[in-house]
Structure 1
């Protein structure tokens, strides 16, 4: 199958030497990134850039897991480079964009390409994710609710579900794939570090699929109650993109609205949303049942595909990627059902002083989750000498989320590599996960165009 190279004419101009690869998310397809691709072509033109919108891991194929999806994408990239070479191109620069789950697939893909030596001849330039769950989609909880959502929810999306909820065992390492993906000694982190520019865009509200802490790679979520903070926007991109160096600060207690004022504002919001709530009461049970039935069917099919993939059934060359890790309408309805159940979960926090707990965990990665839970009190009394949290978080009194030991280690490892993090505030849409990349030409998604513009303004050609 020929790679889906995005061209404005019948053939790609010979001058283009920069390849950018776009990877869609769960249940997705290349059309979800049409606005991003069009914006790239409008800004730079085919003489400067070749856009590859990946299509070999679309739709229900995304159930098959991050590893399998990345192997498909890596093969697609290699095929595209071969085709471009036959057309007389000499690709010297490489960039990658991942949306939602596609960001995790992209991080795995670059590890494969790095291992095969691609970056010895091609310079990795830009790596960007939009609304990607870098820390998984596990809801930060400390109690029994883990078994209601984090465990049960993980089993509705086949292998991908187990991986993003971090209950998988990657290649018998006794570690989840996402933990390995962020291991400082892995090919994946080495590949990420090779990119000259790394950035991410994270919704602060209304992202029912991937909440801020995971898309923003953060120990805390300062945006749980917007009524208690002042937001600081990036000049020229108001009121959508926050200043990454100083996104917000707490409003002094004496300046907060009174209980009556807050109750009045809350009541007005509830009245505006009443029709939506009523519709959910009727439609959500039906959509949830349909989602669970479909998930069962897709999980069965996914397991069969993975078996064929692992066996290299048709000798398509996927076995080459088995390397050591060290060195549409109905679907939209099903997606909404999953998101609504996910959004119903409430975040919980570690006790006061938990920054010290998190630092101790990072310094002692061998500490198990059980030991972590039992030794909370003793860890609270120990003060870590180094503070690993970003400046925007250290300067505020925001509580630390009840993340796992693996997640705290992942945050440190990814922060050490370095991402430029841009919090995004989508006001006009309650589906900011789709709006952030203008997934559909919808008026409510207009603010996503500001996000894409900012990304393009900082894209290095």
Structure 2
């Protein structure tokens, strides 16, 4: 990947890929950065030591590797006479969590006393994990299965791990207001996230958008408001949706029967795929998961003993201030996307706060993030039920929102794989809507 760095640049931008990923996934992003910011003003580092199955090894080990890459890059540049004075971090998918971990490590080592943290951006990153918000034992099969098929990263993403004997999952520690991770994150001049509102088969809206509700579950009943200049892709963060008055139509028994048959016929290809192809994919997925988990456990042992090219003791700081890849990925995403969210019943409060009637606004000059907003000019806010998240997830939402984010919902229309399209993971025409996302990020959000 040619991003042509210059020895004059004082600003370092680090790009971190996601689960099963590699630096090639960020090629379009890196080229877009370079086209906007010449090598004299921006030095680009695409992290590479977590490529492929190495992403199975856990968020903390991924963060330690990225932290070491950053330190080595800055040291290499210093020897060549180049001084880095500003740092930006960009994470895609799991890479956003890895980047958040690395930020905590850097800050705990006094890194930001010498280098100014500028931009922290995530694209489709599951900040709250990937646990499906379901209630009842029969609905937890996927949460249990998925958590045990991706080694350490799977346990952490599904929040069933006990991180360093804290009695809490890593993601909860990552969002603890008293942690090194929140402290480091809060020092960035700007925190921005982009979240798909539909068709993200890997990480759905509530977790990538850090939200306790999802106003986009039925797009037929809402009016989507776009950001001027980015029509049909970027939603207006100040007022992303408005309710529409449903038409009063009296349906006959015949109409209901016709719609039912049309729905069944429309789902026939999917049902056939489920019956004939999914079983083979699941078997391949589980076999691969077992093999990769064994390999991951071996790497983890080497990592922990310092035999993997990194000394973990250099990064094991106190956490609290006060105390068949493509095929396998496709199967995982299909299984994950088949889950349906559930919501808290009216009148039931979660631990953090009652459910919000509308989506949180981004913290910025655009608007102040709130849990309860006044009526918009478009009319009364649509009632959006609160998702059945775990108590610690509600606490994570609150803690992360308190830090302040500029949140941009993204509506990818052309493809049903918005998780890849949002960053143009593959350079192809059908992912062009992702280019609009990158354009908005570079023109409106990225501080050079």
- TM-score, length-normalised on structure 1? 0.87
- CA shift, 1:441, in A, is 1.5
| Structure 1 residues 76 and 267: CA distance shift in structure 2, 3 A | farther
SS of the equivalent of 2:202 reads coil
Distance (whole Å) between structure 1 residues aligned to residue 96 and residue 352 of structure 2:
26
Q: Note the residue ranges of structure 2 that are not aligned, 5 or more in a row.
A: 356-368
Distance (whole Å) between structure 2 residues aligned to residue 160 and residue 57 of structure 1:
12
Match of 2:125 among 127, 132, 149: 132
Match of 2:315 among 321, 324, 349: 321
Distance (whole Å) between structure 1 residues aligned to residue 216 and residue 260 of structure 2:
16
Q: Which structure: greater helix fraction?
A: 1
Match of 2:334 in 1: 340
Distance (whole Å) between structure 2 residues aligned to residue 448 and residue 304 of structure 1:
37
| Structure 1 residues 211 and 315: CA distance shift in structure 2, 3 A | closer
Match of 1:449 in 2: 435
Match of 2:197 among 204, 218, 223: 204
- CA shift, 1:149, in A, is 1.2
Match of 2:363 in 1: none
- CA shift, 1:258, in A, is 6.6
- CA shift, 1:23, in A, is 0.4
| Structure 1 residues 238 and 323: CA distance shift in structure 2, 3 A | same
2:385 aligned with 1:389, yes or no? no
Distance (whole Å) between structure 1 residues aligned to residue 261 and residue 303 of structure 2:
53
Deviations 1:389-432 (A, max 9, x none): 26499943100000001000000000000010100000000000
Q: Is 2:191–2:404's contact at 8 Å kept on the other side of the alignment?
A: yes
2:401 aligned with 1:415, yes or no? yes
Distance (whole Å) between structure 2 residues aligned to residue 191 and residue 74 of structure 1:
13
| Structure 1 residues 316 and 357: CA distance shift in structure 2, 3 A | closer
SS of the equivalent of 2:295 reads helix
Distance (whole Å) between structure 1 residues aligned to residue 430 and residue 77 of structure 2:
38
Distance (whole Å) between structure 2 residues aligned to residue 280 and residue 310 of structure 1:
41
Q: Is 1:228–1:256's contact at 8 Å kept on the other side of the alignment?
A: no
Deviations 1:274-326 (A, max 9, x none): 54554454332211110100000111111111111111126732320011111
Match of 2:364 in 1: none
| Structure 1 residues 395 and 187: CA distance shift in structure 2, 3 A | farther
Match of 2:114 among 101, 116, 121: 121
Deviations 1:222-272 (A, max 9, x none): 1111111110000000100100110002223x4377768999889778766
Q: Note the residue ranges of structure 1 that are not aligned, 5 or more in a row.
A: 363-386
Deviations 1:319-360 (A, max 9, x none): 200111112xx3111001001111111100001134x43435
Alignment: residue pair count: 426
Matches within 5 A, 1:244-259: 244-252=237-245, 254-255=246-247
Match of 1:239 among 221, 224, 232: 232
Q: Is 2:65–2:310's contact at 8 Å kept on the other side of the alignment?
A: no
2:446 aligned with 1:459, yes or no? yes
User: Which stretch of the first structure deviates more once superposed, 412-421 or 259-268?
Assistant: 259-268
- CA shift, 1:98, in A, is 0.3
SS of the equivalent of 2:144 reads coil
SS of the equivalent of 1:114 reads helix
Match of 2:277 among 283, 295, 299: 283
| Structure 1 residues 315 and 429: CA distance shift in structure 2, 3 A | closer
SS of the equivalent of 2:335 reads helix
2:422 aligned with 1:426, yes or no? no
Distance (whole Å) between structure 1 residues aligned to residue 290 and residue 273 of structure 2:
26
| Structure 1 residues 392 and 217: CA distance shift in structure 2, 3 A | farther
Distance (whole Å) between structure 1 residues aligned to residue 76 and residue 262 of structure 2:
57
Distance (whole Å) between structure 1 residues aligned to residue 91 and residue 256 of structure 2:
38
Match of 2:143 in 1: 150
Distance (whole Å) between structure 2 residues aligned to residue 33 and residue 424 of structure 1:
18
SS of the equivalent of 2:81 reads coil
Distance (whole Å) between structure 1 residues aligned to residue 259 and residue 228 of structure 2:
28
User: Which stretch of the first structure deviates more once superposed, 413-422 or 440-449?
Assistant: 440-449
Distance (whole Å) between structure 1 residues aligned to residue 250 and residue 125 of structure 2:
37
Q: Is 1:245–1:391's contact at 8 Å kept on the other side of the alignment?
A: no
Distance (whole Å) between structure 1 residues aligned to residue 50 and residue 151 of structure 2:
15
Match of 2:386 in 1: 400
Match of 1:349 in 2: 343
Match of 1:380 in 2: none
Distance (whole Å) between structure 1 residues aligned to residue 250 and residue 158 of structure 2:
39
Match of 1:7 among 3, 12, 19: 3
SS of the equivalent of 1:168 reads coil
User: Which stretch of the first structure deviates more once superposed, 99-108 or 302-311?
Assistant: 302-311
| Structure 1 residues 314 and 144: CA distance shift in structure 2, 3 A | closer
